[in-house]
Chain A
Amino acid sequence: MTIEVKVATKPSSQVTDTAPAAKVVARNVNVHYGDKHALKDVSVDVPQRSVMAFIGPSGCGKSTFLRCINRMNDTIPIARVSGKITIDGADIYDSRLDVVQLRARVGMVFQKPNPFPKSIYENVAYGPRIHGLAAGKAELDSIVEASLKRAGLLGEVKDRMGDSGTSLSGGQQQRLCIARAIAVGPEIILMDEPCSSLDPIATARIEELIDELRANYTIIIVTHSMQQAARVSQRTAFFHLGHLVEEGETSDIFTNPHDKRTQDYITGRFG
C-alpha cells in the first residue's frame, strides 16, 4: 500500500462552508480496484458527534470511501488505497496500527441485517467478549443490556434473550446489528444503506435511533434515499464517478446545491 503524506488544500468546489471539529479527516484519498480507479482524490472532514450522509448514483464510490474508514478494503486483494485518512489526528493507515482495534473504534452496519446465527444475547456479547471488555458475566450482562437499550431494542427482546437473532423481524435484526456495533464502544459508526431492506415503520425506527446516537457517536451513512439523507444528516456529501463533487450542510445541499451535477442528481434529472 502506498501512503502519501502530502496534505493538499481542498479544491474550492468541495468546500461550501466551514465545518465544526473534525473526527475523521480524509485527504486526497484514491482507491484502485486493479485497473479501475474507483475513488479519485477525495478530501473531506467528518465532524464529530453528527451524522454525515454520502449520496450518489450506484458505482459513484460512496461505499468504497466508507469502507476506507475502517479499512474494510484491506480484505479485497486487488484494492489499493492511497492518500491519508486520520481519526482524531492519527493516521489509520499507519503500518503499526492494529486493524482489529480500529474496527472496534469504527463500527459498521450493513445493508442487509446480518445477525450471527446465535442467540440475541450472544450476538451482542460476542464483540465485548473477544475484545476483553468485560471482567465477568455480570459486566457482560450489563454491556449487552445497555447496548440493546441504546439501540432501542431492549423492550422488545428482554424476555427472549436466548432466542436466535435470526428469529427477529428485519427491522429488529438491523437494530440488533446496531446494538452489536455499539457493544464494543465505538466512536464512529458506518452505515451502508441500513434501511434499504426495511419497511417504512422499521426505517423510521432506525432513523429515530440514528438521531439519538449522534449525541455520542460520529455517524456516516450511505443511502440511496435522498429523503433519508435530508432527514437524518447534518452534512451531506455527493459523490459522482469517483469524485466527491460537493459537500456541505444538508439544508443547503437539498435546497440550493452549488454544483449542477448535485442538482441534477437530487432532483432526478440524471441519465
Chain B
Amino acid sequence: MAPQSHIVSAYEAELAELDSKIAHMGGLTEQQLASAFDALVRRDPGLATRVISSDQTIDTYNREIEEKAILIIARRQPMAVDLRQIMAAMKVANDLERVGDLAKNIAKRALALVSEQHPKALMAGVGQMVDRALRQLKDVLDAYAERDAEKALAVWSKDAEIDALYNSVFRELLTYMMEDPRNIGLCTHLLFGAKNIERIGDHTTNMAETVYYLVKGTPLTDDRPKGDNTSSTVIEPKRS
C-alpha cells in the first residue's frame, strides 16, 4: 500500500529527491563496478582511467545526499518512516560510496595489469564474483526503491555465495602462485581485486539491513550466514 502524501508538498518533494539521488548514485556505482572489471579483462587503460576519475561523481552524490538529509532533519523534524528513510538514505549513500572506492581500486589494478597476460581460468572465477556482486547490488537498490523487505532479506542471505566463490578464487590464486613465481604479481593484484568484490558484497548486505529496517522499523537481528573463511585458510605447498 502506497503511503499517503504529506500535507506539506515541499517535504514530499524533498524526500522524493533524496530517493532519486540514491537511485542515480546506485546506478552509477553499478556501472563503475562493471566497467572496472571490463577494464581488467579487456586490458583497457582508457576505460580504467575513466572509472578512476568518475569516482568523484559518486563522492559528490554522497556529500549531496548527506547535506540534503541534514537539511531535512533540521527543517522538518521527521518522524517514524520519514526519519527512517532519511537515516537509510545516509547509510546507503555511505555504503555506495565505499563500493565506488572499491571499484576504483579494481580499476587501478586493471591499469597496473595492462601489460600482463591474464589466464582465462583465473578471470572466470573473479568474473563470477563480479556478476554475483552486481546482481546483489541491483537487487538491494531495487529493494530500497520498492521498499521491499523480503527482497532485502534475500540479498542479505545470498552474500554467502559470494564468500564461497571468494574462498575458491583465493585457493586457486594461491595454487597458481605456487606453481610459478612469475604469476605472483598478477595473482596478488587479482587477489586484492577479489577481496574488493567480497567487501562490496559486505556493503551490499549492510544496505540490505538498512532497507529492512527502513521498511519494518525493527533491525535484522539474526546472525548472517558468513562464508568467507580465507582468514584461516592454509595451503600447503606440494612437496616433491
Interface residues of A (CB under 8 A from B): 226-227, 230, 254-257, 262-264, 266-271
Contact = CB atoms under 8 A, between A and B. Distances in A.
A contact face: mostly helix, strand, loop, or mixed: helix
B8 A255 contact: no
Contacts of B225: none
Contacts of B78: 267
Nearest to B3: A269
B218 A268 contact: no
A268 B15 CA distance: 13
B interface, size bucket: 10 to 19
B82 interface: yes
Interface string B68-84: 00000000111111111
Contacts of B3: 263-264, 269
A266 B6 contact: no
A269 B217 contact: no
A264 B2 CA distance: 12
Given A255-B217, A256-B217, A256-B218, A266 B79 contact: yes
A226 B77 CA distance: 9
B232 interface: no
B77 A267 contact: no
A268 B217 CA distance: 18
A255 B77 contact: no
A257 B80 CA distance: 7
A270 B83 contact: no
A263 B80 contact: yes
B4 A264 contact: yes
Contacts of B4: 264, 269-270
A267 B84 contact: no
B7 interface: yes
A266 B77 contact: no
B5 interface: yes
B11 interface: yes
Interface string B201-224: 000000000000000011000000
B80 A254 contact: yes
Contact of B7 (A254, A256, A262, A269): A269
A268 B8 contact: yes
Interface string B176-188: 0000000000000
Nearest to B5: A269
Interface in B53-80: 76-80
A44 B177 CA distance: 71
B84 A255 contact: yes
A269 B83 contact: no
A137 to B, nearest CB: 49
B47 to A, nearest CB: 44
B25 to A, nearest CB: 25
Nearest to B11: A268
Nearest to A264: B4
Contacts of B80: 254-257, 262-263, 266-267
Given A264-B4, A266-B79, A269-B7, 6 more contacts: A230-B79, A254-B83, A256-B84, A267-B6, A268-B7, A268-B8
Contacts of A230: 79
Contacts of B79: 226, 230, 254-255, 266-267
26 contacts: A226-B77, A227-B77, A230-B79, A254-B79, A254-B83, A255-B217, A256-B80, A256-B84, A256-B218, A257-B80, A263-B3, A263-B81, A266-B79, A267-B78, A267-B79, A267-B80, A267-B82, A268-B6, A268-B8, A269-B3, A269-B4, A269-B5, A269-B6, A269-B7, A270-B4, A271-B7
Contact of B81 (A226, A227, A267, A271): A267
